[in-house]
Amino acid sequence: SSTAGRITRIERFSPNGRFLAVRHVSALHFWDLNTATRCLSHEGTNNTFAFAPHEDAVLLQDRSNEAVFLELDSGRERFRWSSPLLLPGRRPTGWHTLSFSPDGRMVAGASGTSSMVELMNPATGTQLRILTNYTASATPSHTVAMGWSRHGGALAVATADGRIYNWNPDTGERR
């Protein structure tokens, strides 16, 4: 049972399948499936996160435009960073979605109100590149989902108006 209310969604498994993220009405819980115990909880309703690709850890938006990297088995905070709102791509609501590249060297972040996707250094939050979801013939639309190709050479971005953009994350060029 949980003090966070009813379960609203099973989010996803960690890359190695050991952990499961479960969203409740007012919290996000991470379960260790090997021990059948809840190992980490984060209160709040805007709990955007991404599992680290090669370790038992998670990058979690703690507050708007502030991220914390936590070890799942212990809950230990390894590092924390915040990003100024003045940089392009940042919005007062923070990120709507976060996603690690398969090799873990970049994290993509998008707000629910911006047509921009930020590529950031996951250890420092330093903005590496901005991808913009519009063309000369299209009105900007905010990002609703993102997915990396298996080896990280492409980042697909879906927008609220139904368009999909395919980006080269290393160059910032649209394919």
Residue 155, SS3? strand
Confidence check: pLDDT of 96 > 90: no
The pLDDT of residue 174: 92
Q: Which two tokens stand for residue 163?
A: 């368009």
Mean pLDDT, to the nearest integer, of 133-143?
68
Q: Is 152 left (phi over 0), alpha (psi -120 to 50) or beta?
A: left
Model confidence, pTM? 0.87
Residue-wise pLDDT for 49-95, tens only, equals 999 999 999 999 988 888 999 999 999 999 999 876 655 555 667 78
Strand locations in the chain (E): 7-13, 19-24, 27-32, 37-43, 49-51, 57-63, 66-71, 77-82, 97-100, 107-110, 116-120, 127-132, 143-148, 155-159, 164-168, 173-174
Residue-wise pLDDT for 5-48, tens only, equals 789 999 999 999 999 999 998 899 999 999 999 999 998 877 89
Mean pLDDT, to the nearest integer, of 147-167?
92
The pLDDT of residue 89: 53
